[in-house]
Amino acid sequence: MLRFMFVGDSMTIGSAGEHTWRYRLWQHLRDSYDRPFTFVGPRETLHDQVTDAPTSYAYAAPDFPRAHLAGWGEGWHHMTPLIAETVRACRADVLLVSLGLIDLGFYTNAEQTAANVRAFLTNARSANPRVRVAVMPVLHNIRVEADTSFAEQVAHFNELLAKTATDLDDPRSPLLLVPPPAAYDFHTDTYDGTHPNERGEHRIAEAFATAMDEEWGLGGPYSPAS
């Protein structure tokens, strides 16, 4: 059984009442992948914005494997120290990673964040030398439009991430840079300028699904389930 693990920030954990793009990708794989698979990770909850804590199980669609390693306000800075033990404990085969917005906004600059990406990959491979890692660049959010210096850091980090993917790709442990959704627009694909709405969830899921299908032959063309 192939074991996927989501590693992400608030866009991945989602909030109470949401489907999440994790669910959208599960629907796609359920319908297009002809081998057994599941989602793994040490966490299952959504973020409860009322209590500001990751304590909610109120998924809009609870009938899917909800395990993940995602957290509201967490980034490469937080996940890098956790990833080796988590990969080892959960026996993860494929990491689906969407991180960086929090790092660049609060913790590290582009170069420091890229260094954490490299450390993250080293740590993950120490636990599973054949782990596959698919990583998405930082998507533009409302702060990119409002803050020029932040926008420059996002652009620089995404350039460094692309170089990292080229430098550290390994046939034994592939590192896949997921092209961001071409039509993704935070004005229409989020509900608050950052967090995906239904359309945004599908766009993110489709980006991962398409990249894995084209590069790894895993799954098939994305077709949103009704």
The pLDDT of residue 223: 83
225 lies in a domain? no
176 lies in a domain? yes
Query: What is the Cα 145 distance to its own chain's centre?
Result: 22
The pLDDT of residue 182: 84
Rounded Cα gap, residues 68 and 151, in angstroms: 28
For position 88, which CATH number holds? 3.40.50.1110
Q: How many residues does the structure list for the chain? A: 226
195 lies in a domain? yes
Count of the separate structural domains present in the chain: 1
Q: Which range of residues forms the domain containing residue 81?
A: 2-216
221 lies in a domain? no
The pLDDT of residue 224: 79
Token digits of residue 175: 């590192």
133 lies in a domain? yes
Relative to beta strand 37-39, strand 46-48 is: unpaired
The predicted-structure confidence for 60-76, as pLDDT tens digits, reads as follows 999 999 999 999 999 99
202 lies in a domain? yes
121 lies in a domain? yes
The pLDDT of residue 226: 57
Helices then strands, counting H and E runs in the chain, come out as 10, 8
Q: Spell out the SS3 assignment of 119-161.
A: HHHHHHHHHCCCCEEEEECCCCCHHHHHCHHHHHHHHHHHHHH
Residues of the chain with pLDDT under 70: 226
**3 state SS of 39:** strand
Token digits of residue 16: 């109470």
pTM, rounded to two decimals: 0.97
| CA end-to-end distance (rounded Å), the chain | 26
224 lies in a domain? no
Rounded Cα gap, residues 83 and 131, in angstroms: 12
